[in-house]
Structure 1
Amino acid sequence: MAGRAAEIRGLRMQRSSGRRTAPAVAAVLVVAALAVGCRPVTVTGAGAPDSKGVRYAPTTPAPPPLGRYTPPARHATKPRPAHTPHPARTPRPLMAPGSRGAQVRELQARLAQLGLFGRTPTGYYGSVTTTAVRAFQRRQGLPRTGTVQPATWRALRKQTRRPSQTHLHPPTTQPIGVPDPRCMRGRVICISKRSNTLAWVVDGRVVSAMDVRFGSQYTPTREGTFHITFKSRHHLSTLYHTAMPYAMFFSGGQAVHYSADFAAHGYRGASHGCVNVRNKKALAPLFNTVRPGTKVVIYR
């Protein structure tokens, strides 16, 4: 009996020792975790003994599947446009169609010296001036823009002389024609139907000039050599009932006189056979100078 009792006490001590072992192991794990700075882990589930005292190997989470690294998405940005170089800038022209002023008048006078501008300077850059500039540029091998660039202006000034005041401000809108040989001696009123000009010529020298117009095909102005018969400063036509200021008669009822209609409408009209002058200020001094008997030559 004594032996049986001793065996029972031994079994009880063994079971008691087993129950104290599990808590001790857990305590050791907690202390170890705190020592390395980790959070305490409760030993439960896999790896802990079940109700039957059987331990299982802890389950390790599966690693993520292998694949290409995908960077985090960025905000979408608009593609930058390709750099486009600025086109070469054309120098601003000194003069172009529509320009006005003294420089345009000088341009026209210089082109006239080269035979490229067949009119008197007006100071307005129109189609005739554009054509003349293109002709000069073609002659010089320059771009035919029809506008006056610095290179065109330099070349033109180099080939021409500075225009005189008479060339810049001529008395007529058309160049004065070559005087008829009958106009080269004495004091003559020399009238050209070709250039529509009247020139007061003294011993072969042109003293003054002005624009004129003539009669229509039904009332033509006579041609030939005539002489002033009489003058009338404030003449009034008894036939047409029109004013004829500064009238100088040379052939019957035909006379040289100022015409307000010519001054207002230009060459769109015509006279009844007289020689119309549109510049009253230019005609007045001539009227005061001319005497009866002065020669008049009208030619083509």
Structure 2
Amino acid sequence: MTGSSRTGRGHAPRGGRGAGAASAAVAVLALVAVTAGCKAEPAGSAPPASSSPTDDAKPGAKGSDPATPSASAKPSTPPKPAPKATPTRTPESTPSADPQAEVMMASGAQGKRVRELQARLRQIGHFDRSPTGYYGSVTVAAVQSFQGKRGLSRTGRTDTLTWQKLLGMTHTPTAAELTPPTTRPAAKPDKRCLTGRVICISKNSRSLSWMIDGKVVSSMDVRFGSQYTPTREGTFSVYWKSRHHVSTIYHTAMPYAMFFSGGQAVHYSSDFAARGYNGASHGCVNVRDEGKIASLFDQVRNGDKVVVYQ
């Protein structure tokens, strides 16, 4: 700025001193404007206390008093209070599996241990079907149900804590509990099945029990006719047995057929064995275990009672 004023005076014409002074004043104002306009201010900072671009108004600087600012200076922005500390969440506040528990079985597992798990869960009402030995979605839901009622984390996985709790509430499964004769528990026999020799058939449990004098000799899974060709209910008797029977109406094989009501019979069904409950019969009682129906066929006599009930 000083150099600019000297240059202005050196080139000023005689008698034009006032013009030179005016030029110098303009140069000074321009320099101040440029200097003040190019300085980047931090966001939210207070404006300077004076027009001088070199005055930072630092606390304790000569000519400044932060406690008693001059009338022309705006008070500096008070420091923001320190943020309150956010309490950290302790591990106990978030439900999770116990870090000491080791997973023994989970979805996708299979084998004897899974079958035992299912049998034990069934003993206390958490598994409503026969053990399969496969840890699928039904088993996951059963384990979650057990864990939830015992105050354990509902992971659906069988860890050491879940297993120990289950062992303490159940007994060692018997062979019949591990491999029961029917997929679902056989129904409580109808009172008509409690005397004599009876093929006792429950539609609700989809099971057949061969009973003699109130005792179950064998049980097996069965399926029935569709809504258009329903299996008749009531008390009947076996009137005809045909080991290698073929239907004269539908031209399909009906091995080990035991007729009890018109054309309706108890017999083996290869379709039931292959498709399960995805299909239905034309009114007959289908059995899917060929070995069991063959054994039953050999034991049943003409005249033995057949009871079909809900």
- What TM-score do you get using the length of structure 2 for normalisation? 0.67
- 1:258 corresponds, among 242, 249, 268, to 268
**Alignment of 1:166 onto 2:176:** yes
The residue number in structure 1 matching 2:234 is: 224
Deviations 1:202-257 (A, max 9, x none): 11111111100000111110000000001000001111000000000000100000
Q: Equivalent residue of 1:153, what SS?
A: helix
Tell me if the contact between 2:235 and 2:307 (Cα under 8 Å) persists in the aligned partners: yes
> After the TM superposition, which segments of 4 or more aligned residues of structure 1 sit over 3 Å from their partners?
88-92
- 1:108 corresponds, among 118, 122, 137, to 118
Matched residue type, 2:239: T
In 2, the alpha carbon distance for the partners of 1:266 and 1:90 equals 42
The residue number in structure 2 matching 1:211 is: 221
- 2:163 corresponds, among 129, 139, 153, to 153
Matched residue type, 1:211: D
Between Structure 1 and Structure 2, whose CA radius of gyration is higher? Answer: 1
In 1, the alpha carbon distance for the partners of 2:191 and 2:114 equals 35
Q: Equivalent residue of 2:158, what SS?
A: coil
Tell me if the contact between 2:101 and 2:161 (Cα under 8 Å) persists in the aligned partners: no
Q: Equivalent residue of 1:94, what SS?
A: strand
- CA shift for structure 1 position 91: 4.5
Tell me if the contact between 2:105 and 2:159 (Cα under 8 Å) persists in the aligned partners: yes
The residue number in structure 1 matching 2:7 is: none
The residue number in structure 1 matching 2:186 is: 176
After superposition, the CA RMSD in angstroms is 1.2
Matched residue type, 2:172: R
- 1:281 corresponds, among 274, 291, 302, to 291
The residue number in structure 2 matching 1:27 is: none
**Alignment of 1:296 onto 2:306:** yes
Q: For 1:243-254, what aligned pairs fall within 5 Å after superposition?
A: 243-254=253-264
**Alignment of 1:117 onto 2:127:** yes
Tell me if the contact between 2:187 and 2:207 (Cα under 8 Å) persists in the aligned partners: yes
Matched residue type, 2:227: Q
In 1, the alpha carbon distance for the partners of 2:207 and 2:104 equals 33
**Alignment of 1:201 onto 2:211:** yes
In 2, the alpha carbon distance for the partners of 1:101 and 1:184 equals 37
- CA shift for structure 1 position 135: 1.1
The residue number in structure 2 matching 1:237 is: 247
Tell me if the contact between 2:221 and 2:287 (Cα under 8 Å) persists in the aligned partners: yes
- What TM-score do you get using the length of structure 1 for normalisation? 0.70
The residue number in structure 1 matching 2:199 is: 189
Q: How many residues align?
A: 213
Provide structure 1 residue ranges, at least 5 long, that are not aligned to the other structure: 1-87
Q: For 1:9-88, what aligned pairs fall within 5 Å after superposition?
A: none
In 1, the alpha carbon distance for the partners of 2:124 and 2:234 equals 33
The residue number in structure 1 matching 2:53 is: none
